[in-house]
Amino acid sequence: MKTKRIALIRGDITTLDVDAIVNAANNSLLGGGGVDGAIHRAAGPGLLAECRQLNGCNTGEAKITRGYNLPARFVIHTVGPVWHGGNSGEEHLLRSCYNGSLNLAHDYQLKTIAFPNISTGVYGYPKQQAGRVAVEAVSEWLDVHPDFKQVNFVAFDEENFTIYEELLG
Ligand code: AR6
């Protein structure tokens, strides 16, 4: 492990009892498939009602809501880039999702967070490359935020688990 403050968890992010789980959302913030659909189903209709007030979210940025029926107190919704081959600013935008989510958590004085592998489902970002960006961005952010307690990477499938295991050493 790069740091004791990074953990790898296998499973479903909606079951985690952390201060905030991160949603891989779309620009509308009005729900969708993948982890977004799972989070909205588990949180219940209050989440969608609050999301409607947010006026969407730009790619690479993040917004926060309460967690409603989730064990997590908050949901941080971030919009990852769609993969267009890697020369369209995807890495910069993906890094910005991690930094923006962590900065928002810090602003709310949260101490524990869980991330899915943003952009690697419907949005097509290669899982290994996205995992590397995620681990780098989080490690760098933690280095300058010694008070933050724990960042969890959540691997929903075996492929993601193996990727993070190798990246985290
Ligand atoms: N817990 C943790 N990780 C999960 C879960 C879960 N319950 N379900 C899926 N994953 P995706 P994207 C992983 O497609 O690529 C939605 O329709 C999955 O294995 O959820 O950023 C939104 O509304 C994958 O590695 O998000 C947007 O329109 C990762 O989560 C669009 O999809 C991300 O896959 C966003 O696409």
Rounded to whole angstroms, the Cα distance separating 101 from 107 reads 10
The pLDDT assigned to 4 comes to 87
Residue 126 is classified by DSSP as: -
pTM of the model: 0.98
| Residue partners of 82: CB distance under 8 A and separation at least 6 | 90, 119, 123, 124
Rounded to whole angstroms, the Cα distance separating 101 from 121 reads 19
Nearest CA to ligand 1 atom 20: 34
Q: Domain ranges for the chain, please list them.
A: 6-168
Nearest CA to ligand 1 atom 11: 121
Per-residue pLDDT of 26-65, as tens digits, reads: 999 999 999 999 999 999 999 999 999 999 999 999 999 9
In which residue are the tokens 């780098």 written?
Answer: 136
Query: Residue 75 Cα, ligand 1 centroid: separation in angstroms?
Result: 14
36 catalytic per annotation: yes
Whether 1 shows a pLDDT value over 60: the answer reads no
CATH, domain range 6-168: 3.40.220.10
The pLDDT assigned to 2 comes to 58
Nearest CA to ligand 1 atom 27: 26
* CA of 28, closest atom in ligand 1: 23
Per-residue pLDDT of 53-98, as tens digits, reads: 999 999 999 999 999 999 999 999 999 999 999 999 999 999 999 9
Whether 144 shows a pLDDT value over 80: the answer reads yes
In which residue are the tokens 């989070």 written?
Answer: 39
